[in-house]
């Protein structure tokens, strides 16, 4: 076991302060109202951690490192300023991939030059504890990278959001994971290059294999899961580098991401293992994804919708990814304001997995300055639908599908959904009747007697409703 050099008291204190800032950042990010403050805490903590590390470690060229930080920070700043809110999920997936690749590169550098990292003796033999840390860090980092790349491609539309089911996928995945674990264990006795690089290659492969069978409906869980993986990869590399700040930060990100994934799986009435096994109903989606049946439905106009909502006592607005794609959140807030001026009670209902990442709808509504006290989660709003005159659904499909409660053959059966069908009238904005939800199933709500379909671009339809409310 390698000896850890004594850490000066001020360094330990600085890392402790950085860790406290990171905890405050996570606390702040738990609510849109405090998210800006949380981000500031996170930035402050990272500044302290980076500065402390640079001051306490010998570096080849401080100037080169500062230039690299400036380039990376500049790129991140420009991307963050230019990115559209609709592209935020794929941006998060892309950033997760960078964290994973960073862990792989650090692990590879430590393996190729272990003396420089203080993890080997003069004979070049890497300490056994360091081999475990290195093996786990590289494996988790590689899985995070390749899995995040696939998630990005699915979210960005470069790859189908439907599950891509490989034959014997469970056998292949289990065998690959077992091989990785076995090789990491063997790495303790033999640090031959073929062992290290085989672990790395298999880890890249399993990240790819784990994510391609997962359908679009599970993407919010995948994003939070990959976030957790990136944290654990950073923590493992923190042990290799003997850096307390990395260990603390990685553990916080890893544990919070794991908890969020668990919460979201509970919200979908699914186990974490079933999500990782691949596909939201995987085979069931393939079986149920036949040609759509031509069924009668009721079609309405912006004038009809404006009249119904103006006469209502309470309107519950249910946003989904369709709102994000159309960037209709600002027009939607304007519509809500006009309804409130007319004496209508307006509430917003958010499903935990609406959109393509955790909190996607909350972020968009906050961007449009929708009051936080008007936004409700599923468990707090579901009982209100039966007492509401109008449920206004804008681009939310799978999370409003009543089949999740009644049709045992449906891929989304068992997932808690918003009870919009219980409202007196359901106004449902959809671009057209063609196409199913991201989970690949048609919404039974479209054909209910109390549903009026508003077929148009979401932003244009809401703008037209606003004109008719004036």
**3-class secondary structure per residue, 356-392:** CCCCHHHHHHHHCCCCHHHEEEHHHHHHHHHHCCEEE
Residue 464 structure tokens: 């037209």
Instruction: Evaluate whether 218 touches 275 at the Cβ level (below 8 Å).
Output: yes
Alpha-carbon torsion, ordered 23, 28, 30, 32, to 10 deg: -160
Residue 205 structure tokens: 């492969």
CA 134, CA 239: separation in Å to the nearest integer? 8
Phi-psi region at 451: left, alpha or beta (left = phi > 0; alpha = psi -120 to 50): beta
CA 18, CA 243: separation in Å to the nearest integer? 12
Instruction: Evaluate whether 37 touches 28 at the Cβ level (below 8 Å).
Output: yes
CA 454, CA 429: separation in Å to the nearest integer? 5
Q: Is the dihedral of CA 238, 244, 247, 250 positive or negative?
A: negative
Does residue 318 sit in helix, strand or coil?
Answer: strand
Instruction: Evaluate whether 236 touches 113 at the Cβ level (below 8 Å).
Output: no
Pick from 96, 43, 49: nearest CA to 241? 49
Active site positions, annotated? 398
């Amino acid at each position: 076991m390698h000896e850890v050099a004594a850490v000066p008291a001020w360094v330990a204190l600085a890392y402790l302060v950085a860790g406290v800032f990171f905890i405050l950042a996570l606390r702040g990010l738990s609510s849109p109202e405090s998210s800006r403050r949380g981000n500031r805490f996170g930035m402050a903590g990272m500044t302290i951690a980076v500065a402390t590390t640079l001051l306490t470690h010998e570096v080849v060229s401080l100037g080169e490192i500062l230039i690299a930080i400036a380039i990376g920070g500049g790129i991140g700043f420009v991307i963050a300023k230019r990115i559209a809110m609709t592209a935020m999920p794929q941006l998060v997936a892309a950033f997760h991939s960078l964290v994973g690749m960073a862990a792989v590169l650090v692990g590879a550098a430590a393996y190729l030059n272990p003396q420089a990292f203080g993890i080997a003796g003069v004979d070049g033999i890497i300490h056994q504890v360091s081999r475990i840390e290195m093996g786990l860090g590289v494996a988790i980092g590689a899985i995070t990278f390749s899995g995040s790349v696939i998630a990005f491609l699915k979210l960005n539309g470069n790859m189908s959001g439907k599950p891509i089911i490989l034959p014997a996928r469970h056998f292949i995945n289990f065998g690959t994971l077992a091989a990785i674990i076995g090789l990491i264990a063997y790495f303790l006795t033999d640090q031959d290059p073929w062992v290290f690089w085989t672990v790395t290659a298999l880890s890249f492969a399993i990240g790819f294999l784990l994510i391609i069978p997962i359908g679009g409906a599970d993407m919010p869980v995948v994003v939070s899961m990959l976030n957790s993986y990136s944290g654990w990869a950073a923590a493992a590399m923190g042990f290799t580098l003997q850096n307390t700040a990395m260990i603390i930060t990685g553990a916080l990100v890893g544990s919070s991401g794991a908890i969020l994934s668990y919460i979201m799986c509970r919200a979908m009435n699914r186990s974490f293992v079933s999500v990782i096994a691949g596909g939201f109903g995987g085979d069931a989606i393939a079986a149920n994804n036949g040609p759509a049946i031509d069924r009668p439905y009721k079609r309405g106009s912006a004038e009809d919708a404006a009249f119904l909502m103006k006469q209502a006592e309470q309107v519950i607005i249910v946003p989904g990814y369709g709102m994000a794609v159309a960037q209709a959140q600002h027009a939607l807030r304007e519509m809500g304001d006009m309804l409130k001026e007319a004496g209508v009670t307006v509430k917003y209902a958010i499903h935990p997995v609406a959109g393509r990442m955790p909190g996607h709808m909350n972020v968009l509504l906050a961007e449009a300055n929708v009051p936080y006290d008007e936004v409700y989660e599923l468990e707090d709003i579901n009982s209100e639908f039966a007492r509401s005159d109008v449920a206004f659904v804008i681009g939310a499909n799978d999370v409003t599908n009543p089949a999740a409660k009644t049709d045992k053959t449906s891929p989304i059966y068992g997932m808690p959904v918003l009870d919009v069908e219980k409202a007196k009238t359901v106004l449902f904005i959809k671009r057209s009747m063609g196409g199913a939800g991201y989970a690949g199933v048609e919404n039974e709500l479209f054909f209910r007697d109390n549903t009026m379909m508003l077929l148009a671009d979401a932003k244009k339809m809401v703008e037209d409703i606003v004109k008719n409310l004036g």
